[in-house]
Amino acid sequence: MCGTCGCGGRDVLIGGKRPVRAKGGGALAFRAPGSGEGQAGHAHQAAELRVIQVERDLLAKNDAQADANRQMLAARGIFALNLVSSPGSGKTTLLVKTITALNGALPLAVIEGDQQTENDAARIRAAGAPAIQINTGRGCHLDAQMTAQAMRQLDLPDGGLLLIENVGNLVCPASFDLGEAHKVVILSVTEGEDKPLKYPDMFRAASLMVLNKCDLLPHLEFDPELAVDYARRVNPALQVIRLSVSSGEGMDQWLDWIRAGCREAGRTLSDTLESE
Amino acid sequence: MHEMSLAESVLEIIEDSARAQDFRRVRRVVLEIGELAAVEPDAMRFCFDAVMRGTLAEGAELQIVETPGAGRCGQCGATVAMQERYGLCPDCGSAALQVTVGERMRVQDLLVE
């Protein structure tokens, strides 16, 4: 809950720098007259009250930016994935192994989201891929505007792969479209099987679930069939890959899934070019 | 979930309206929150008060209108009341329920001076 985690979007850093928001009038730019001193400044005026119809969606701005991101990615044939999970599910390790396994065969770039530190982007760069870190400060999720800004700062490969690692949080990132092709939810077997029922919005929003750390199954009471069953109750169309970066189980399937997505994004690009 | 950023979106919408409609103070905000929008009204109130502090909507009353969730069964076509984003169709038992209403989060109107 952000009411308790205290999230907010005012301390954002992208690549260590404060982002420039597209429009003027940021969150707190419009101060009330006499703000901080109550209403004493104009208490003498007879208040003329009126009702203004607004009818505007709270996520409209995010969704419009996400659409713009998606169009830009499609125009450049880039396949973008938004990786979401609780903290500690193994997202960054999976990304590092993915980069190593692809070994330059597919051009890729990574956007890393965390509240604090550049640690994850540094791990990705050490694995050989360009990466930019978004520090959300108190924010508990990435949004489409941060993503757009990060994409501008990153050397995005045309016809390649963009991996976006969201802030570790199974709740908030579900509601914020970044413009990705798919959300991939990572559930590690050291968590509970019923996470999909406890956090249904995220599993509902994802196209693929990676059941991670499967090499640990012999040491745990985690029932993978039950976890998949719960996940499909929430999202009947959810695809599932059982994976372990330690044993290599499922890595081929994961890489094939990525390659198929990239081919599809590339095909859409060449179709567009031909029709122009 | 992300009530703090949603409250910041409410403020942005208020500020845009203030520029367009020329008002200086907001007394009441009516917010429609769908049952399936995954927003906690209490958390929203807490964040609303925190975000509006020091702005033209400081101290404004937040009125939340909660709208019920409903969906359509992809199997038998029934219209079904939904309290969660997933479930089984009470008519045919299928899990192929598609949410049709109740996900909306929007500022309906403002009482301003």
**By three-state DSSP, how is residue B66 classified?**
strand
Q: What is the pLDDT of residue B95?
A: 81
* Among A92-96, A157-161, A270-274, the range of highest mean pLDDT: A92-96
Q: Chain A: give the shortest CA distance to residue B70, in Å.
A: 16
pLDDT beyond 50 at B52: yes
B8 to chain A, any CB pair closer than 8 A? The answer is yes
**Would you give the DSSP letter of residue A31?**
B
The neighbour count for residue A154, using CB atoms within 10 Å, is 17
Q: Is residue B94 one of the residues assigned to a domain? A: no
A47-99: pLDDT as tens digits? 689 999 999 999 999 999 999 999 999 999 999 999 999 999 999 999 999 99
Alpha carbon distances (Å) from A27 to A34, A41, A149, A199, B52: 18, 23, 17, 29, 10
B98 to chain A, any CB pair closer than 8 A? The answer is no
Q: What is the pLDDT of residue B97?
A: 87
Most B CBs within 10 Å: which of A52, A194, A233, as the mutation test of the B interface? Answer: A52
pLDDT band (50, 70, 90) for residue A10: low
Q: Is residue B43 one of the residues assigned to a domain? A: yes
The count of CB pairs under 8 A between chains A and B is 156
> Can you read off the two tokens belonging to residue A71?
């169009």
pLDDT beyond 80 at A161: yes
pLDDT band (50, 70, 90) for residue A2: very low
Q: Which residue of A has its CA nearest to B52?
A: A28
Domain of residue A232 covers 61-262
B85 to chain A, any CB pair closer than 8 A? The answer is yes
Cα–Cα dist B38/B59, whole Å: 25
* Domain tally, chain A: 1
Q: Is residue B59 one of the residues assigned to a domain? A: yes
pLDDT band (50, 70, 90) for residue A157: confident
pLDDT beyond 60 at A194: yes
Most B CBs within 10 Å: which of A39, A54, A198, as the mutation test of the B interface? Answer: A54
pLDDT beyond 60 at A8: no
A233-261: pLDDT as tens digits? 889 899 999 999 999 999 999 999 999 99
Cα–Cα dist A242/A225, whole Å: 11
A204-214: pLDDT as tens digits? 999 999 999 99
**ipTM for this prediction:** 0.88
Element (H, E) at A211: strand A208-212
Looking at the DSSP assignment, which residues form a beta bridge with residue B110?
A52, B29
A26-53: pLDDT as tens digits? 333 333 444 444 444 444 455 689 999 9
B86 with A2: Cβ contact below 8 A: no
Q: Is residue A203 one of the residues assigned to a domain? A: yes
Q: Is residue A51 one of the residues assigned to a domain? A: no
CATH number assigned to the domain comprising residue B38: 3.30.2320.50
Amino acid at B1: M
Q: Is residue A41 one of the residues assigned to a domain? A: no
Q: What is the pLDDT of residue A1?
A: 38
Q: Which residue has the higher pLDDT, A223 or A44?
A: A223
Q: Is residue B77 one of the residues assigned to a domain? A: no
Q: What is the pLDDT of residue B85?
A: 81
Cα–Cα dist B45/B50, whole Å: 9
pLDDT beyond 90 at B87: no
- What average pLDDT does the segment B24-47 reach? 93
Q: List, in order, residues 6 or more apart from A261 with CB less than 8 Å away.
A: A79, A81, A181, A182
Q: List, in order, residues 6 or more apart from B12 with CB less than 8 Å away.
A: A25, A27, A61
pLDDT band (50, 70, 90) for residue A276: low
In percent, the amount of chain A with pLDDT more than 70 equals 85
Residues 99-118 of A with CB under 8 A from B: none
pLDDT beyond 50 at B13: yes
B54 with A204: Cβ contact below 8 A: no
Judging contacts by C-beta atoms under 8 Å, the chain B residues touching residue A140 are 1-2
* Domain tally, chain B: 1
Domain of residue B47 covers 3-68+102-112
Residues 195-224 of A with CB under 8 A from B: 200-201, 204
Residues 141-160 of A with CB under 8 A from B: 141, 143
Q: Taking chain B, what is the end-to-end CA distance rounded to the nearest angstrom?
A: 32
A111-127: pLDDT as tens digits? 999 999 999 999 999 99
Which of B12, B43, B55 has the CB atom closest to A35's CB atom? Answer: B55
Q: Is residue B45 one of the residues assigned to a domain? A: yes
CATH number assigned to the domain comprising residue A168: 3.40.50.300
Q: Is residue B23 one of the residues assigned to a domain? A: yes
B20 to chain A, any CB pair closer than 8 A? The answer is no
